[in-house]
Structure 1
């Protein structure tokens, strides 16, 4: 979709890495929850820290969106640390500026599918079932938050129809998933 619209793609993971590189845990603790070894933490705690990190990054997302509103080149901002609350603010600010800012959240709630994705992407990492469970829980949290902000949520699968379903959700502004 970004290619069709000739949109600039902002991979928010790059923004996260940049923000973390220029901050410290002491000055911005919310951005550095994962600096140390978290492997011994309970999955519920890791999820809590992931949500806290995402929320701490809301100002960075809004900074990116506000900057993109100053130019006529369309952009797509994508990444795991985008919160529905910040996306809703971005949509409102875009409307106030006379610009179309839209948001959609993809949802994958199956830990088995997520583990399989990790295995393909990171074959040397071994079993990542616990991490996949946390990711599925985070996806459910994002979906619930998006729904509460009136933002569309689209199931990630089936993959062959994802682009069409995302386009439809953005055009209709409706929620397709829990």
Structure 2
């Protein structure tokens, strides 16, 4: 049993649900938080607050847009923004662990290395390498936007980078498909990694 855990079946104090856009992070994180009886925190809310509190001059990487660039450049930008946000997210994770405030946090900007060296924190990356499935997810949640194959391509490339980072950090990668069993598979992976 890991230090700080009440029992071997308790979830980590902080659980990060990482993954690229459109892979189903929210569809897993929300019911997981409900199942565990803990709050759900959205990383995107933190980023929205930071964008309101900073300027392009003070934090250019946060305010720069990569829209219209080739997919590989967009992914490089996403990873650069995640790296710029990492100290803040690590501080949030450490604070929750210090004060034993359980939370499930999800978002595109979270990377698996954020929990490295923090006892009581865990992470999982949800991966989906199928561009068509991701495009279908986008169409389901944003029907007015129409098909988004380019965005799905970016998501697949971003997901591959997150999966590589997860393997390097010893964090499990769980396939998003089949979607109807993703919640149970993610929960099992989190407990096995603890």
Normalised by the length of structure 1, the TM-score is 0.85
Q: Using the alignment, how far apart are the partners of 2:155 and 2:90 within structure 1?
A: 24
- 1:57 and 2:85 correspond: yes
- Any stretches of 5+ residues in structure 1 without a counterpart? none
Q: What secondary structure is seen at the aligned counterpart in 1 of 2:64?
A: coil
- 1:76 and 2:96 correspond: no
Please report how far the alpha carbon of residue 29 of structure 1 lies from its aligned counterpart in structure 2 after TM superposition.
1.5
- Any stretches of 5+ residues in structure 2 without a counterpart? 1-31
Please report how far the alpha carbon of residue 72 of structure 1 lies from its aligned counterpart in structure 2 after TM superposition.
3.4
Contact 1:108-1:156 within 8 A present in 2 as well: yes
Q: Select the residue among 30, 38, 46 that pairs with 1:7.
A: 38
Cα deviations across residues 98-150 of structure 1 (Å, max 9, x unaligned)?
xx211111001111111111111111112210011001110111011101110
Q: What is residue 159 of structure 2 aligned with on the other side?
A: 139
Please report how far the alpha carbon of residue 68 of structure 1 lies from its aligned counterpart in structure 2 after TM superposition.
1.4
Please report how far the alpha carbon of residue 22 of structure 1 lies from its aligned counterpart in structure 2 after TM superposition.
0.5
Contact 2:126-2:173 within 8 A present in 1 as well: yes
Aligned CA RMSD, in angstroms, stands at 1.5
Q: Select the residue among 120, 132, 156 that pairs with 2:140.
A: 120
Q: What is residue 127 of structure 2 aligned with on the other side?
A: 107
Please report how far the alpha carbon of residue 21 of structure 1 lies from its aligned counterpart in structure 2 after TM superposition.
1.1
Contact 1:5-1:74 within 8 A present in 2 as well: no
Contact 2:93-2:115 within 8 A present in 1 as well: no
Cα deviations across residues 66-108 of structure 1 (Å, max 9, x unaligned)?
22124333101111111122232xxx22x2xxxx211111001
Q: Which has the higher contact order (CA 8 A, sep 6+)?
A: 2
Q: Point out 4+ residue stretches in structure 1 off by more than 2 angstroms.
A: 69-73
* Count of matched residue pairs: 163
Q: Using the alignment, how far apart are the partners of 1:29 and 1:119 within structure 2?
A: 31
